[in-house]
Chain A
Amino acid sequence: MRKHRLGVGLLSAALLVFGSIAPAQAAGSLTIWVNSGEEAAYKAAASDWAEKNGVRVTVLAKCGLGDCGLSKLGPAGAGPDLFVATHDNTGTLVKSGVVTSLSTVIDRNAYPAAAVQGVSFNYGTWGIPISISNIALATNLALVPNGAPKTWSELESTSTKLIGSGKAEVGIVTHIDGYFMQPFFDSVGGYVFSNKNGKYTSTRNVGLYSKDLAKNASLMDKWLAAKLFDKSNTYDASNFTNGKAPYSIVGPWSLAGLDKAGIKYDISAVPSVNGGSARAFSGVSAMYMNRFSKNKFIAKQFLTEVVQTKAFSKAITNANNSFPANLEAAAAVDKNSAAGKMGAYGAICIPMPNVAEMNSVWTYWNGAFADWAAGKSKFGEAMKTASKNLNSALGN
């Protein structure tokens, strides 16, 4: 008898405790996951709307690269209502079935066509673009008084002269991997998947070892030997800020560091060896909706009334130095600022593919760059092997 009383008493007491510690299921609440370091900006940008509508908005820094773990957490009911990811995850997210189509929410006219294309996959459009970011060329004006190079030969001769005179140790500070080398890769005629004006046509046609690339591959070997790229493949930003390298490949995330170092620099497009500009990858940072969200109506309202506005895009991009996706906000950016110049280059960049097949591409492509930098193979051979392996992995 005593035993029973103990058990029953314990259970009922536990229920009481549980009742008081369990979070209330608030109807008017919204949880948003964003990249770490950006939560304050999102929180501030959402606060007016939250107060007006009586919605409790919780912003958590739970996203970084990739899909924020949503593929696992979403179905388990542990995900947020909305989350921020870059557009290249769109294919993976859709194939995992963890995002909701926002085709009827997005205002297509408010964004560049390429950005909308980036967050579209199969039948739907899945994200609301917030910012566009891409790498660009930074020129150290103390070493290169003439400013950003207009042509590739100008870049090449400036670098070799400075290295030859012992002033510089390396030409361009960059990571030697697919993402950071894409402009040079584009310049010598390589491509990941076939595309036309930035729109991808087929994942069957892999261009890691395209005809043009096969022809121009020796140029890359020449540039590596001439120390245009640092073959140790450690992105040593201090080389650029200490005046030991005239150029650097930088992203919006680098600008704060460059300003802090107090150097004078210019931002420009990466010149192509064929004249004109070589295309880097542009990435769209976008907000996606969890398919398993219990607050879809409020989330949609938030996307329409807040995320799609000029003010929101402006607030977020001011905070992280990237370029606004919203066309009105983009038009208001100072064209001579670093972010403005980066954005101008971004407009002619090629959107990073958003298909799930990119996962395999990165492996082989980055591997080929690493082998090449380590001196294990010539550029052409490395890309030929990568192309062969990639095609077999994709079943082409």
Chain B
Amino acid sequence: MRISDKGRKRAQLSLISTLSLLLAAGGIKLLLDKSWFLGAFTLISALLCARIYTSEKHIPGKYLLPGVILLIFFHIYPALYSGQVAFTNDSNGHQLTKSQAIDAIIEDSRIPIENQSLTRYFAATQKSTGEIFAVFEYSNKGFWAGNSETVFPLYKSDLRLDLNGEISNIREFELISPSSYSEISDLLQAMQIRLPSQEVLIPSDFEYLEAFVPGLVYFPEADEIHEISTGTIYGPNDNGQMVSAAGEVLYPGWKANIGFKNFSSIVTNPEVRRPLLAVLSWTFVNAFISVVLAFLMGLTLALIFNFPAFKSKRIYRTIFITPLAIPSVLSVLVWAGLFQTSNGVINRLFHSEIPWLTDATWARIAILIVELWISFPYMFLITTGAIQAIPGEIIEAAEIDGATPFKSFTQIKLPLVLRTVAPLLIASGAMALNNFGVIYLLTGGGPTFSNSNGNAGATDILISYTYKLAFNGQEGNNYGLASALSILNFVLVGIMSIYGLKRIKTMEGIN
């Protein structure tokens, strides 16, 4: 007994230490990648894991810890992150930091000098400072030592050349052996030598420099970029771009905080607003109709199978619940095949040519049909349960009082069923507002509106439209706007749910 206890303890301990070690290693990697929050959080989780699961105390903690860690990882952190992104212009063309963007603008404006003779360079360490320089002879302008920070001429008397005319010794410098260039390759690859005569020299490999003429120059103190040929001055605007007085923009831009602009653009920008109204109304219409239809169908089936005279109910009930057992991804894909216009089973069956997935109205009907297919078994189950929970005496009493079957349904059964299932209906409605899967898989939100640049389509609901804005590469991804919309979506679903639950409370007389 004692031995097996000990063995279990050991197994526990090794399991806990492996888990904590992996978490801690992940945390360190994240910190090295400068992901401060996630890194710190992972490290803290590792420490907490090790602490709580090795101690005899903290019993509640043992149960709560995994849930809390996963909750923070997968819910709270993403929510905070997208909340933060919503206030930036995070989108294609605004992915760099400001200094990266300005470096890119300056680099991209350089024009290579045609037919230049190759400039051989040698890497050397300056003895007094320990800094690494490239030493070279530039066309007929003498010898130079330079790196990204500074450049200065060398006197011929400071140099000694070998028989091949290559530099073999420099006063004040120590040549680095070419075999160890790979150790300083990061430095060499980033080196940009700006000669006083304006040319920029950049190592193209471990032997040669390439010469460029700059097109634009950045002045950090003034935070301005000047175009050399025309004298045009570009300054930063509040959308993370360098812009001239005439409105010409230099690309790329950088990621900047833009306050509430994403939110206000939902209202003010016609490109966003135009599809949004259609999308919003379809979001609500779709959720409402799909839940009501599924409920009605479920209720009808439940009533039919509740007739005492009905034979072999169990088999039928089982059959009608099967759609619930099939993964909805599969059934949606099968439906997509059935709905095809020219070869689809449905059109063949009815000898019709209905453009199920390419016409706005038909696509909406198709979506509703598939949503009905997926969700009616659930409604069927819960209404069956609710009906069977109604005490038989009540119905009997009604019959004795002379109620017709219709009356006993509308006045007794239905209110009692509704009372039970109303919270579930509200929950289904809230879920249907975010019914991304069916729409993404069946129509992809299409057919697209011909007048929208957001790629929105007739069957897009708010969350699928948000997804398109964020990840549909063809339209230029706009993560900032998408985050703002997802916050809007959250607020809408939240309001709906709170309102619905309040209504139920009053209906049921619960306080």
Binding site for B on A (CB under 8 A): 3, 6-7, 10-11, 13-15, 17-18, 21-22, 27-28, 65-67, 69, 71-72, 74-77, 92, 94-98, 100-101, 103-104, 122-124, 230, 232-234, 236, 291, 294, 296-297, 300-301, 356, 359-360, 362-364, 366-368, 370-371, 373-374, 382, 385-386, 389, 393
8 Å CB contact of B453 from A69, A94, A364, A385: A364
Specify the chain A residue showing the minimal Cβ separation from B104.
A97
Which partner residue on chain A sits nearest B207 by CB separation? A297
**Residue B494 interfacial (CB < 8 Å):** no
Given known A-B contacts A370-B448, A385-B450, A97 and B205 have beta carbons under 8 A apart:
no
A21 to chain B: closest residue by CB:
B25
Q: Are A22 and B204 closer than 8 Å at their CB atoms? A: no
Q: Given B95, B104, B251, which contacts A72 in the complex, CB threshold below 8 Å?
A: B95
Contact with A along B250-268 (1 / 0, CB 8 A): 0110000000000000000
Query: In the complex, are the beta carbons of B340 and A6 less than 8 A apart?
Result: no
Q: A296 contacts which chain B residues (CB < 8 A)?
A: 189
Which residue from chain A places its CB closest to the CB of B97 in the assembled complex? A75
* CB pairs A–B below 8 angstroms (29 shown): A10-B24, A10-B46, A10-B47, A13-B17, A14-B25, A14-B27, A66-B474, A67-B473, A69-B473, A72-B477, A75-B100, A95-B93, A97-B93, A97-B101, A100-B107, A101-B110, A103-B112, A123-B108, A124-B108, A233-B358, A294-B186, A297-B188, A297-B204, A300-B205, A301-B205, A367-B448, A374-B358, A374-B359, A389-B453
Q: Is there contact, CB below 8 Å, between B108 and A122?
A: yes
Most interface-central of A71, A74, A371, A393 (chain B CB within 10 A): A71
Interface residues of B in 180-216 (CB under 8 A from A): 182, 185-186, 188-189, 203-206, 210, 215
Asked if residues A66 and B473 are in contact (CB atoms below 8 Å), the reply is yes
- With A13-B21, A232-B355 as contacts: A123 and B111 at CB distance below 8 Å: yes
Residues of B close to A74: CB separation below 8 A: 95
Within 8 A of A (CB), among B436-466: 447-453, 455
Closest B-chain residue to A236, C-beta based? Answer: B342
Contact A104 B204, CB 8 Å, known A234-B342, A367-B450? yes
Asked if B290 lies at the interface with its beta carbon under 8 angstroms from chain A, I say no
In this complex, the member of B97, B215, B342, B343 whose beta carbon has the largest number of chain A beta carbons within 10 angstroms is B342
Chain A residues whose C-beta falls within 8 Å of the C-beta of B477 in the assembled complex: 71-72
User: A6-B54, A97-B104 are known contacts. Are A297 and B21 too (CB-CB below 8 A)?
Assistant: no
- For A21, the chain B residues whose CB sits under 8 A away are 25
Given contact pairs A6-B54, A76-B95, A123-B109, a sample of 11 additional A-B residue pairs in the complex whose CB atoms are under 8 Å apart: A6-B51, A14-B25, A27-B185, A72-B477, A96-B93, A97-B95, A359-B474, A359-B476, A363-B474, A382-B450, A389-B453
Residue in B96, B206, B271 whose beta carbon sits within 8 Å of that of A297 in the complex: B206
- The docked-state distance in angstroms from the alpha carbon of A364 to that of B451 is 7
Residue numbers in B under 8 Å from A65 (CB-CB) = 473-474
In the complex, what residue of chain B is closest to A100 when comparing beta carbons?
B107
Residues of B within 8 A of A393 (CB): 271, 453
B475 beta carbon closer than 8 Å to chain A: yes
Cβ contact within 8 Å between A3 and B51: yes
**A294 B189 Cβ-Cβ under 8 A:** yes
Q: Does B487 contact A (CB under 8 A)?
A: no
Across the interface, which residues of B come within 8 angstroms of A232, CB to CB?
Answer: 341-342, 353, 355, 358
* Interface flag for B28 (CB, 8 Å): yes
Chain B residues contacting A75 (CB-CB under 8 Å) are 95-97, 100
Contact yes or no, A95 B252, CB < 8 A? yes
Q: How far is the CA of A123 from the CA of B212 in the complex (A)?
A: 12
Q: In whole angstroms, how far apart are the Cα atoms of A234 and B336 in the complex?
A: 13
Which listed residue (A97, A103, A359, A385) contacts B475, Cβ 8 A? A359
* Cα–Cα, bound, A359→B271 (Å): 14
Q: Tell me the B residues contacting A by CB distance below 8 Å.
A: 17, 20-22, 24-25, 27-29, 33, 46-47, 50-51, 54, 92-93, 95-97, 100-101, 104-105, 107-112, 182, 185-186, 188-189, 203-206, 210, 215, 251-252, 271, 340-343, 353, 355, 358-359, 447-453, 455, 473-477
Closest partner residue, chain B, to A68 (CB atom): B473
A122 to B108, CA, bound (A): 9
**Beta-carbon contact of B96 and A97 below 8 Å:** yes
Give the distance in Å from the alpha carbon of A332 to the alpha carbon of B205 in the complex: 33
Lowest 10 CB-CB distances: which A-B pairs, in order? A97-B252, A14-B24, A367-B450, A97-B104, A66-B473, A232-B341, A95-B251, A18-B25, A232-B342, A75-B95
- Chain B residues with Cβ under 8 A from A6's Cβ? 50-51, 54
Asked if A374 and B453 make an inter-chain contact with CB atoms under 8 angstroms apart, the answer reads no
Q: Residue on A with the closest CB to B186?
A: A294
Please name all residues of chain B whose beta carbon is closer than 8 Å to the beta carbon of A11 when the two chains form the complex: 24
- Please indicate the chain B residues that have their CB under 8 angstroms from the CB of A69 in the complex: 473
Contact of B341 among A7, A71, A234 (CB under 8 A): A234
Q: Which of A15, A291, A366 contacts B104 (CB 8 A)?
A: A291
Query: Quick check: A370 and B358 within 8 Å, CB to CB?
Result: yes
Nearest CB in chain A to that of B255: its residue: A75
Residues of A within 8 A of B355 (CB): 232, 374
Contact (Cβ within 8 A) B107 A96: no
Distance, CA A28 to CA B448, complexed state (A): 48
Picked from B27, B206, B343, B453, the residue with its CB within 8 Å of the CB of A363 is B453
**Once the chains are docked, how many angstroms separate the CA of A234 from the CA of B205?**
51
> What's the minimum C-beta distance from B102 to chain A, rounded to whole angstroms?
10
A370, B92: Cβ atoms closer than 8 Å: no
Report the bound CA distance from A133 to B205 in whole Å.
33
Is B95 in contact with A98, judged by CB distance below 8 angstroms?
yes
CB neighbours (8 Å) of B473 from chain A are 65-67, 69
Partner of A101, one of B28, B108, B206: B108
A22–B54 CA distance with the chains assembled, in angstroms = 28
Give the complex CA separation of A234 and B450 in angstroms: 19
One of A18, A100, A364, A366 near B29 (C-beta < 8 A): A18
A360 near B109 (CB under 8 angstroms)? no
Partner of B20, one of A10, A92, A234, A297: A10
Nearest A residue (CB) for B251: A95
Asked if residues B251 and A97 are in contact (CB atoms below 8 Å), the reply is: yes
A300-B204 Cα distance, complex, nearest whole Å: 8
What is the distance, in angstroms, from A377's C-beta to the closest C-beta of chain B?
A: 9
Q: Which residues of A contact B110 (CB under 8 A)?
A: 101, 123
Report the bound CA distance from A124 to B110 in whole Å. 8
A-side contacts of B210, CB under 8 Å: 104
Within the assembled complex, what's the spacing in Å between the Cα atoms of A92 and B455?
18
CB–CB A234/B340 < 8 A: yes
